[in-house]
Amino acid sequence: MRGGGKMIDTGYLEKFGEERYKNFLIGEKVVQDKIFESPIDKIKMKFLKELEKSRSWSPFLYDLYYYCEMLHRIDFFSKYYFHSFVPKARNIDSVKVIFIRQGNMFLYNALNDTINIYRQDYFKGLEEERDYLILLNDNRKLQEYYGDFHIMLSLINTGHALYNLEYILSQYGIKYSRSKKGIFLKNERKFVDISIALEIDSQQKYYGGSKSIKEQEMANRFRQRSSGQNRGGDTIVREKMNSQQHESIISCLLHSNEKHERIRYWVYVDNIEGSQGGFYRIENNSLKSISGNERFIYEQMLYEYQKFTNLDGLNYWIFFSFNKMQKGFEELFIEMGYIAQEISVLVAKYNLAARGMKNYNDYVIKEKFGLNEDDIIGYSIVIFSNNNASHSIFLE
């Protein structure tokens, strides 16, 4: 369903796995023309927000883009200023959520906080009587920075967005399934593809519960989720996490790992009260020690040190791996992005920041955790105390 885009195979993993730093290439300069022409109508999100006060109006459309694309935070000291609830590589707005209903197509424009409405005449392979949610990847800008490595990053971005999207659907009780049909843009563009299409149940209604999902506790966790980045250099705070909080977070990791059996979790632990720092693996629903802490290990674990990379003050560095003898590499990278977003939202409850990272030395990490040649480390997140190093403010 990638619309003719390049796929991830073992050759790609050999090039952009452990050896990716030798194979980074500048991508192509491509025309950034509009994929969709002039809309037939527009809806201001502010208008939908006012309508939410009416019990006769479903806030689904508003909530869809509130959780997936709306800008909620400005980080004045970060490398990137404007942030939605969905993290993305270089914060490029490359993942678009498209809602298709009754022959119309809805897309959100974050800059003017408006939903644009189009006639559905852009995709082929859709059933006219069915509603769809499509995750469209527009990687024309992303690939300029990374070349073909952008494919992996794009899939991880998709996983981040999918977690938020499925959260909304679960809150509304919406039944759906992954489309197995070929769905493509009629006018295909290079570096633009469809990663996921969800078919909505034909009898589905879009009314949620009596309480707005933005008033629930989870909504605050989405708001507080942050990478805690400061372009001038992280403020290192070596605060010991208490053992009770540590146990709660490990319990979340164990529960997450149970749901994602194809992905293995590896954890580097530090600055935990009453717990030995070092390398651990999650196995048989428990955290098992591999080796103890080592001095100056952070410099070895990173491929290249960057001053905005907070490692000295971390509590957890979680790595996700899979065996390259498995099939469906694209799905695995989407799943790792999904897991990382799930964990980052959950730890926000404890005022912890979570930063996705690919800047690790695969060979050192694999040696420390005892991984073999067939194991691929696909992604990682660093978790540490959120001290508002980005100097953030929230938008209403």
213 and 94, same structural domain? yes
If one counts the domains in the chain, the total is 2
The residue with greater pLDDT, 236 or 52, is 52
253 and 166, same structural domain? no
45 and 126, same structural domain? yes
* Any domain includes 4: no
240 and 218, same structural domain? no
Residues spanned by the domain of 325: 235-389
48 and 177, same structural domain? yes
- pLDDT above 60: residue 111: yes
* Any domain includes 230: no
In this structure, what are the phi and psi dihedrals at residue 69, rounded to the nearest 5 degrees? -140, -20
The predicted-structure confidence for 174-200, as pLDDT tens digits, reads as follows: 999 999 888 999 999 999 999 999 999
260 and 299, same structural domain? yes
173 and 66, same structural domain? yes
pTM, two decimal places: 0.93
Give the model's pLDDT for residue 210. Answer: 65
> Which residues, listed in sequence order, are joined to residue 98 by a DSSP beta bridge?
134
The residue with greater pLDDT, 139 or 22, is 139
Residue at a domain's end among 192, 222, 252: 222
Residue at a domain's end among 196, 222, 248: 222
136 and 202, same structural domain? yes
* Any domain includes 33: yes
What is the per-residue DSSP string for 226-266?
-----TT------PPBPHHHHHHHHHHHHHHHHH-TTSEEE
Q: For residue 367, what is the domain's CATH number?
A: 3.40.109.10
216 and 302, same structural domain? no
244 and 134, same structural domain? no
The predicted-structure confidence for 322-366, as pLDDT tens digits, reads as follows: 999 998 999 999 999 999 999 999 999 999 999 998 889 999 999
Residue type, 229: Q
- Residue of 48, 3, 12 lying closest to 329 (CA atoms): 12
Residue at a domain's end among 180, 201, 222: 222
The residue with greater pLDDT, 281 or 77, is 281
- Look over the chain and give the mean of its residue pLDDT values, rounded to a whole number: 89
